Structure 1
């Protein structure tokens, strides 16, 4: 008689041991996560607000460019460097414990950019957006010490809130994209529903209050 013990069945111990899902909804979720990545949205938002500030104030319309450099490009470069060195898993930083230092670095980079742009006389609207972004980064860095609140969701909802402050209710047409981004992060098991909801609320509240106050 065959002994079952001689033919052990190997089972994965956790979801991380399972092969990556390749079904269509998951592929769509991955694409959405890249298109609505925080660095992409932050850079785009700064360029849009900078263009608006130049249109209304007569200043250069390209003030959002240096803002995007300090708020998005440099922080993303730091993260990608960490990925290349093996300190980080990927540019989305899935491990909560790995997020705090990149968030603090991003906050420092943004603060440096804010000081430089103040000295150079950038439009108030761009400075206000950087100030609100710094508040958001500081909050997420603090919460990340205990809980993995979704940065994707926070930046997406904050983008819509900031654009609403600039362009009015028409910008609320972007809300479905926020919902889509939240779905994508849950679909990829990067966050729980609670983490994307709280992240989205936090981003919207900060951008919807701090940014208008500083404008």
Structure 2
């Protein structure tokens, strides 16, 4: 299933927001910033390592499936397809997490990745019956963890979450309820697990 090209200015704006602020970009941002917070330049290296398994490899996996017709596009719009995609992402995250523990990554980075994995478990459970929004879950979780690490000024990023939610609803990829639940889930699970483990 491929998306129809946007025909109006609001639809074009929604497509740009959806593509530019997609989960992969938030994941790379939060892993690098958390790496810096954990151990400055050495931490950036750990952040890049974490980003490989939580952002880059999952995107390559999704692109592989898209190219071979297993699902329609990089946003994996059909709920049923996500039941295959999410476990694939979880496998990559789990491998990265084991390697980080084995190699002695800073606890703040491993706590972040455990929080991501926990969020994936909850999203997968919900996805068996309902399509929750990754596009709002990931940034809300990223903002929550960054606020815990860097301080409440990171909450200034919060308005981006409803903007992303609007884009998903405008493109008819999610309902309003799905983007709201995604945002709550990301902050509660991702932020909550990170707060417990860091």
Q: Compute the TM-score of the two structures, normalised by the length of structure 2.
A: 0.95
Say if 1:183 and 1:83 are closer, same or farther in 2 by CA, change over 3 A: same
> With CA pairs under 8 Å and 6+ residues apart, which has the higher RCO, 1 or 2?
2
Q: Confirm or deny that 1:180 pairs with 2:163.
A: yes
Output the CA distance in 2 between the equivalents of 1:47 and 1:71: 12
Match of 1:29 in 2: 14
Size of the aligned set, in residue pairs, is: 197
What RMSD in Å do the two structures reach over aligned CA positions? 1.5
Q: Confirm or deny that 1:101 pairs with 2:104.
A: no
Gaps of 5+ in 2: none
- Which deviations, in whole Å up to 9, do the C-alpha atoms of 1:166-190 show, x marking residues without a partner? 1111011001111111111001000
Q: Compute the TM-score of the two structures, normalised by the length of structure 1.
A: 0.88
- Counterparts of 1:51-90 in structure 2 under 5 Å? 51-55=36-40, 59-90=42-73
Q: CA deviation at 1:21?
A: 3.6
1:146 aligns to what SS in structure 2? coil
Match of 1:50 in 2: 35
Say if 1:60 and 1:133 are closer, same or farther in 2 by CA, change over 3 A: closer
Match of 2:118 in 1: 135
Output the CA distance in 1 between the equivalents of 2:139 and 2:173: 16
Output the CA distance in 2 between the equivalents of 1:139 and 1:19: 30
Q: Tell whether the 8 Å contact from 2:37 to 2:43 is kept in structure 1 after alignment.
A: no
Q: Which protein is richer in helix relative to its size?
A: 2
Output the CA distance in 2 between the equivalents of 1:206 and 1:120: 26
Say if 1:30 and 1:19 are closer, same or farther in 2 by CA, change over 3 A: closer
1:29 aligns to what SS in structure 2? helix
1:91 aligns to what SS in structure 2? coil
Q: CA deviation at 1:108?
A: 1.1
- Which deviations, in whole Å up to 9, do the C-alpha atoms of 1:18-41 show, x marking residues without a partner? 964411111111111111111111
Q: Tell whether the 8 Å contact from 2:37 to 2:150 is kept in structure 1 after alignment.
A: no
Q: Tell whether the 8 Å contact from 2:53 to 2:93 is kept in structure 1 after alignment.
A: yes
- Counterparts of 1:105-184 in structure 2 under 5 Å? 105-184=88-167
Gaps of 5+ in 1: 1-15
Output the CA distance in 1 between the equivalents of 2:4 and 2:28: 33
Q: CA deviation at 1:114?
A: 0.4
- Which deviations, in whole Å up to 9, do the C-alpha atoms of 1:65-103 show, x marking residues without a partner? 110000111111110000100111000001111001110
